[in-house]
Amino acid sequence: MGQDGLIEQLAAQIARERGKDGKERPLSTYERALRELRGVRFLDLTKDTQFSEAWNFLALILSLLGLIFDAGFMMTAGLAMWVVAAVGWTWNRLGLFGVHYERRFSEKRAFLGEEIELTLEVRNRKFLPLPWLQIIDIFPAGLPLAGENVRVNRLTNQGEFTSFWALAAFGRLTRRFVIQCTQRGYHGFGPARLHTGDAFGMFDIRGTLPLRERVIVYPRLYTVAELGLPVKNPFGERSSAERLFEDPLRTAGIRAWQPTDGLKRVHWKATARRQELLSRLYEPSAEPHALIFLNVATLRRHWEGNIPELLERAISVAGSLAALCAEMRLPVGLIANGYLPESDQPLRLLPGRSLGQIVRILELLAAVTPFAAQPIEQLLLREAPRLPWGATLLVVTAIAHEELLATLLDLTRAGRQVVLFTLAEKPPAELLPGVVVYHLPHLVADLVAPTLVQAS
């Protein structure tokens, strides 16, 4: 039976144990013991042996010779061989019975450069001791253990941490390690492969515990002092701080069409019902918003590859700007042209000022992959009409090519407030009227204060 079949069997077993309300009913002691004997907790449960027919043949010969020649020593030796084989088989059959393996993390979320304490615990809940136990646990290759060796499997490109244990009956062992968060991302732990056997070395048993956990490492955040942005109006002066913007996302009602209204404002359904041309009446909005647009492409043609140092720097700047907006109590959102891990869904989070908004943004930034779904200029043109009219667009990019600069100019002429943060080697050669441009030198050990190239 393959792994998929075993997973389906495990799911069916769990479903049978759940009541009609979907909640798992408590198991009796007998049912728990039966589950342990069946090895339901393990996937890919396999047994191996060094035992052969020669052992039985030799035991039989010794027993027969002992009977024929009335040699008690030979008869005892033959019977002992059978007893040892039976004890070893039973010991191995119960090898993983009552064995529990657990990971505990001091934190499951951390920032780049921090450390997390990992506790591994093994319990043996049976009368038989565990003479030896080997555990090969899948660890993320990008998060090293301080003072320990995590071997990278070249076939799977996953880290494998091997540990050896020996436990007495009803024993418990605990070991602590330090995880160094040296790489941003979503890092998975597990499953774990357990390997044990009898004390005679005749039989062994292997099983896989489908125990998976995840640690999220956020990108590094820079303080306001490190960013070097102006304390007052870091994103530029607004043309009219008290101006009421009509928010096209919130319709308040309808009114008679006026010659100054465009076709996009016409309410066609109401016009058809009343047989007269009517326009939408939008609710006014004076609340400013900030929306961060992150360009994950580090080369002009995003399909040619990426430069990891530039991407990580851009992600850190985007996260720092989000934290700054949160400190300013400014509703902030995030849109990026990258994908979520193992998904074809882009990153898109509309502005909000809830307590969990900055956490959601940091989790998205931790998950963002270097593969661009589309050029950033196309994303800007597609998303801009859907955004509140008073939103400030904060564009973070490692490159500032002509197509992107032309798009920013178009958005500015349309009345949008745009701020460009570029990590390109050189700042834009041409002036961008109405756009606030900050140039941040790239590929340096520490972020230096950005240069204000152009104010609005």
Residue that has been written with the tokens 């152009």 in this structure: 454
The one-letter amino acid code at 171 reads G
- Phi, psi torsion values for 197, nearest 5 degrees: -175, -170
Per-residue pLDDT tens listing for the chain (456 residues): 443 444 444 445 545 544 444 455 566 655 565 566 555 677 767 766 666 566 566 666 767 777 777 777 777 776 777 777 777 788 878 888 889 999 999 999 999 999 999 999 999 999 999 999 999 999 999 999 999 999 998 888 899 999 999 999 999 999 999 999 999 999 999 999 999 988 887 888 899 999 899 999 999 998 777 777 777 777 766 544 444 455 565 566 777 877 767 777 787 787 888 888 888 766 555 467 899 999 999 887 777 778 888 899 899 999 999 999 998 888 999 999 988 877 777 788 988 888 789 999 999 999 998 888 889 999 999 998 888 777 899 999 988 888 999 999 999 998 889 999 988 877 787 778 889 888 876 444 454 456 666 665
Residue-wise pLDDT tens digits, 194-205:
999 888 878 888
Structural domain boundaries in the chain: 9-34, 41-218, 224-236+286-454, 246-284
Give the closest residue to 367 by CA, choosing from 347, 387, 392: 347
The one-letter amino acid code at 243 reads R
Q: What is the CATH number of domain 41-218?
A: 2.60.40.10
Residue-wise pLDDT tens digits, 20-78:
444 555 666 555 655 665 556 777 677 666 665 665 666 667 677 777 777 777 777 76
Could you give the angle at which helices 357-367 and 308-327 cross, rounded to 10 degrees?
Answer: 180
- Phi, psi torsion values for 52, nearest 5 degrees: -135, 175
Residue 188 near residue 212, CB atoms below 8 Å = yes
Considering the entire predicted model, what is its pTM? Answer: 0.75
Residue 239 near residue 415, CB atoms below 8 Å = no
CA distance 362 to 368: 10
Tell the CATH topology of 224-236+286-454. Answer: Rossmann fold (3.40.50)
Residue 143 near residue 182, CB atoms below 8 Å = yes
Neighbours of 334 (CB within 10 A): 27
